[in-house]
Amino acid sequence: MLLKPLKNEKDYDAALERIDALMELNPELGTNESDELEVLVMLIEKYEEKEWAIAEPDPIEAIKVRMEQMHLKQKDLIPYIGNRSKVSEVLNRKVGLSLTMIRNIAVGLHLPLESLIQLPKKQS
């Protein structure tokens, strides 16, 4: 098979078929077939990363997902964020999360800090 970048599903499917064929051969390391197999696997991994990447939710989406998982209402966030209006402002993206809020939410809702310190997505 001529090795080339995978640009579409057709290329991707052909590469998968070639990998299947090479796996059936069970090539020894260092052979042309094993090198081809290794390169095809890298091409497929790169294509999958590019085409099917799953983005982490922004901080507000992460909080909303956790609220749903824990069956929480906005009022349940008051201990972590502040008063009712502050909770509403944060969840509606009118104000950002402070470091204290991030710390409180991470501990109280068991969310990783990494998910709370990302830049939030802009609402359209």
- Name the domain count of the chain: 2
Say how many C-beta atoms besides its own lie within 10 A of residue 6's C-beta.
21
31 and 77 together in one domain: no
75 and 107 together in one domain: yes
CATH number at residue 82: 1.10.260.40
75 and 43 together in one domain: no
Is the residue at 79 inside a domain?
yes
Is the residue at 27 inside a domain?
yes
Specify whether the CB–CB gap between 69 and 82 falls below 8 A: no
Q: What is the pLDDT of residue 3?
A: 86
The residue segments making up the domain with residue 102 are 59-116
Is the residue at 1 inside a domain?
no
Per-residue model confidence as pLDDT tens for the chain (124 residues) = 578 999 999 999 999 999 999 999 999 999 999 999 999 999 999 999 888 877 777 899 999 999 999 999 999 999 999 999 999 999 999 999 999 999 999 999 999 998 898 765 555 4
43 and 68 together in one domain: no
77: tokens are: 């966030």
Q: What is the pLDDT of residue 54?
A: 72
| Alpha carbons 44 and 40: distance in angstroms, whole number | 6
Q: What is the pLDDT of residue 121?
A: 55
Q: What is the pLDDT of residue 123?
A: 53
Is the residue at 88 inside a domain?
yes
Q: What is the 3-state secondary structure (H, E, C) of the chain?
A: CCCCCCCCHHHHHHHHHHHHHHHHHCCCCCCHHHHHHHHHHHHHHHHHHHHCCCCCCCHHHHHHHHHHHCCCCHHHHHHHHCCHHHHHHHHCCCCCCCHHHHHHHHHHHCCCHHHHCCCCCCCC
